[in-house]
Amino acid sequence: MEEFITVCPRNCYSTCSFTVQVENNIIKHIYPYPGNLATPNGPCIKGLSYIERTHSPDRIIHPLRKTSTGKFKQITADEALERIAEKLLSLREKFGPQSVLFYRGSGMSGLVNEISNSFWKGFGGATTTYGNLCWPAGLEAVRLTLGTVKHNVPWDIENAKTIIIWGKNPAETNIQETAFIARAREKGSKVIVIDPRRTLTADHADLLLSPKPGTDGALALAIASVLIRKNLIDSHFINSFVKGFNDFCASLTISPEDCEKISGIPAGNIYELADIIGLEGPVTIIPGYGLQRHINGGQTIRAILSLNILTGNIGKPGAGFNYANLQSYIFDTVKEPQSYYPDAGQDFPFRRTVSMTNLGRDISIAKDPPLKGAWIERGNPILQSPDSGTVRKSFSDLEFVVVVEQFMTDTAAMADIILPARDIFEQSDIIGSYWSPYVCYKPAVITCPGEVMPESEIYYRLAKKMGLNMDPGLLPEPGNDNIEKWLETRIKGYSSLTLSDLKKGPVLAPGLQEIAYNDMKFETPSGKIELFSSEAHRKWGISPVPGYSPLESDNEKYPLCFLTPNIAGRIHSQFGNLDLIRTTLQEPAAELSPSDAKSRGIFTGDQIRMFNDLGEIITTARISHRVPAGIIVLPNGIWLNEGGGGNLLIAGRFTDIGMGAAFHDTQVQVEKADKHG
């Protein structure tokens, strides 16, 4: 039996390192790898389920073609590639290369994914996407304010005297972080959770404050006003390192009493929290991604970040703003996941883009040329995109859709051709993290089953069939040895780090600041922390200082705020189909408060109809004291055949900055499904 150090490449905070034992091309065991200080306890239940995921009998391991009856038929890899080559060349000849949409999600990260760009450039271009569904409003907020996006190493949380977990639920979505928080509590740290729900994380907090969704910015600004009025600020820090303090002070008009009416948080709690932040430092604030998925999300993150700035909780042990840490992205020339702007900064072949947030609409209205085909990899847009009913309709109107996938997802079911995707153990790669400070090597430890080909091999063989003139340095020949040579070339010149170094185990990113910004250097236009950002106004049209704008909603017709958080058993729409997850964790359901359920005659286990002007879904209800009145919660990523598809009810709205998706600005009504029948 052989043993290897590897890493999870999913779109998750932790990016866990672990060891795998392999025998006869089968993953036998998964164990912790303590050499990674961020994830020494090993992966979560999703990581442990990789044994089942890799060898699942439900995994697609042969290409499939949809027949005229709508059913899928197994075909050979050569037949699939011949059909795809013929169709892509036909579309390019008739309509031009940009008649094909190249959609790549974030289902599996790594440098090898870049090889796909080389193929599409060789094709002559394609239509791609701009924006991001996950975190860009917060990324841009931090960048505008601090110049770069980074935070202290995870284990520094133990040095905090006060930890504020704001809109994040690490007990389910970042379990490695909970270990550091627990140790901080053992040392006497105070833990405060701010979240509309009573999450599993809140169960272990000293204080829970539950504002109405979308009012977090108002709460932060009210706290800021108290800090300034009571002189609980670090004047030396502000005078030395901050631009725009006076402008920010002049803009503060929300008192704790005003905020109580806006957010539902009692004014007394707001004063109490201000005293804690101002007097009981060092303070680490850990904001989640859900609270920036509102149309005021970017300004909300800027407002919360102002609390660290006013009290000097930047650049010191135990003090920080832990939104995202991109220090391990050392091989990236641009440290954001997607371009923010349509048509800005794109390589010429990809000059046309469509919005991730309004994907269905933009596909349907594309002209000169119209979109006729799509290639989808590492994503499940039929389920995960806002206004997914329109997305489904737009994809169904295309002439030809190829999906590269491991399982029969809702998007794969829409394809004309399905190509089986590689698993994490079947190709070498290099992985960074947006939480852990490590750069990790992910080795190939087993060979692909059936006719599964790594995407790089798919593109290589397809380019040959299509007669594309490809640079072998950009599109390597099949074989993991060639991939490793490609990786060696890819990482040269970025640092002293070599592939040989990475093969020994996870490596702390070269140039890492364990305490972010401890040099007090900020890559902003002024060289200071910018509470006043001219760029924010010029680029996005928002106030130069953090502000609050109330959300618009039709509370009479659709009185329930609809939230779609992540949960322990899924990374968006991945892993929920596995038996280990299904038999270990509670089945996901739509959770609503006892009062909202009682007024509608709904009981746990009932089938309910959730609806608004965009459509309706039928799902299962669960009454929960964790959800306050006026809110209904259905986790994102639940497949349609499980009673999911909540994004059918979510309109495509942009966040105020960053071109993100405002998923949580959604109101619905709920009734028993049999009410009309």
Tell me the pLDDT band of 675, cut-offs 50, 70 and 90: low
Q: How does pLDDT run across 24-83, given as a tens digit for each residue?
A: 999 999 999 999 999 999 999 999 999 999 999 999 999 999 999 999 999 999 999 999
3-state DSSP: the chain helix, strand, coil percent, rounded to 5?
Answer: 35, 20, 50
Token pair listed for 253: 């008009």
Q: Which two tokens stand for residue 188?
A: 């006497």
Query: Which is nearest to 626 in space by CA: 567, 553, 548?
Result: 567
Indicate the pLDDT class of residue 554, thresholds 50, 70 and 90.
low
Q: Given pLDDT bands bounded at 50, 70 and 90, which one contains residue 341?
A: very low
Tell me if 185 is assigned to some domain: yes
Pair 371, 99: CB distance under 8 Å: yes
Count of structural domains within the chain: 3
**101 and 240 co-located in one domain:** no
Q: Which pair of tokens denotes residue 528?
A: 């200071």
**For residue 94, what are its two tokens?**
């008739």
Residue 359 sits in the same domain as residue 473: yes
561-575 confidence digits (pLDDT tens): 999 999 999 999 999
pLDDT, residue 552, reads 80
- Domain assignment present for 482: yes
Residues 142 and 272 in one domain: yes
For residues 155 and 266, state if they share a domain. Answer: yes
340, pLDDT greater than 50: no
Residue 44 lies in a domain: no
CATH number at residue 648: 2.40.40.20
Averaged pLDDT for residues 90-114? 96
For position 196, which CATH number holds? 3.40.228.10
* pLDDT of the residue at 587: 87
333 band by pLDDT with thresholds 50, 70 and 90: low
231 and 255 part of one domain = yes
Do the domain assignments include residue 247?
Answer: yes
Q: What is the CATH number of the domain that holds 379?
A: 3.40.50.740
pLDDT at 349: 55
pLDDT interval class at 351 (50, 70, 90):
confident
Question: Mind listing the pLDDT tens digit for each residue in 636-663?
Answer: 999 998 889 999 999 999 999 999 999 9
What digits encode the pLDDT tens for the residues 495-519? 999 999 999 999 999 999 999 999 9
Confidence at residue 344, expressed as pLDDT on a 0 to 100 scale: 41
Return the minimum-mean-pLDDT range out of 12-16, 340-344, 493-497, 559-563. Answer: 340-344
Q: For residue 674, what pLDDT is reported?
A: 79
Answer whether residue 326 shows pLDDT above 50: yes
- What HEC string does 412-467 produce? HHHCCEEEECCCCCCCCEEECCCCCCEEEEECCCCCCCCCCCCHHHHHHHHHHHHC
User: Are 170 and 231 found together in one domain?
Assistant: yes
Indicate the pLDDT class of residue 308, thresholds 50, 70 and 90: very high
Does 67 fall in a domain?
no
If asked whether residues 383 and 317 sit together in one domain, one would say no
Same structural domain for residues 518 and 573? no
User: In the predicted model, is pLDDT for residue 282 greater than 60?
Assistant: yes
Structural domain boundaries enclosing 659: 560-672
Same domain, 270 and 388: no
Same domain, 166 and 299: yes
pLDDT score for 517: 98
Cα gap 620→623, rounded to integer Å: 10
In-domain check, residue 438? no
Whether residues 278 and 408 fall in one domain: no
147 and 296 fall within a common domain: yes
The reply to whether 341 falls in a domain is: no
What mean pLDDT value characterizes the chain?
95
- Please determine, for residue 342, whether its predicted confidence score (pLDDT) is greater than 60: no
Per-residue pLDDT at 663: 96
User: 252-272: string of b/e by CB count within 10 Å (b at 16+)?
Assistant: bebbbebbbebbbbebebbeb
Domain membership of residue 465 (yes or no) is yes
pLDDT at 334 over 70: no
